[in-house]
Amino acid sequence: MEEIENNSKGGGLVDLPPGFRFHPTDEEIITCYLTEKVMNSKFSAAAVGEADLNRCEPWDLHEKAKMGEKEWYFFCQKDRKYPTGMRTNRATESGYWKATGKDKEIFRGKGYLVGMRKTLVFYKGRAPKGEKTNWVMHEYRLEGNLPFPNLNRFSKVSKNHNVVC
């Protein structure tokens, strides 16, 4: 039986049954993890690590993962390309993450838009001549009419700066 640290409930170890997989829904990522992180920067979860995706190559992320073999979850802070701009910096030393497709809306129940999911693909090299790889990342961010009263006291910058990838 595998044991992991349970940081979200004050420490200790959690015994997991064989075959356990951390596979949250999009809505659970937003409401149970990202919302908690925005409201409490010290919040941590047993299955979600922390990573700076601009300083870590995708093939090195497994070293920062708390669990999982081919799929990992991380709390991240978005980096701006320019100090006064809104564009996000998604470059690493060896490549960059490029957004692909349309952002997916994430709803809680029937009608509460709580977040968005952006899909990104990693390219080696520099744009526009980068070479596409098989690395895919989903970036979850808060959005919409959030049904969490305590979240309203946080600035839009704080809510848009923290993501789960």
Task: Report the relative pairing of strands 74-77 and 49-50 from DSSP bridges.
Answer: parallel
Residue 67: pLDDT band with limits 50, 70, 90: confident
The verdict on pTM exceeding 0.85 is: no
Q: Would you call 127 helix, strand, or coil by DSSP?
A: coil
The chain-wide mean pLDDT, for the chain, equals 81
Q: Would you call 24 helix, strand, or coil by DSSP?
A: coil
**For the chain, domain boundaries:** 25-164
Name the β-bridge partners of 142: 115
The two structure tokens encoding residue 93:
């030393």
Model confidence pLDDT, tens digit, residues 88-129: 778 889 999 999 999 999 998 888 899 999 999 999 999 899
For residue 145, pLDDT beyond 90: no
More confident residue, 5 or 139: 139
Fold observed for domain 25-164: 2.170.150
C-alpha 12/C-alpha 91 separation (Å) is 37
C-alpha 20/C-alpha 63 separation (Å) is 20
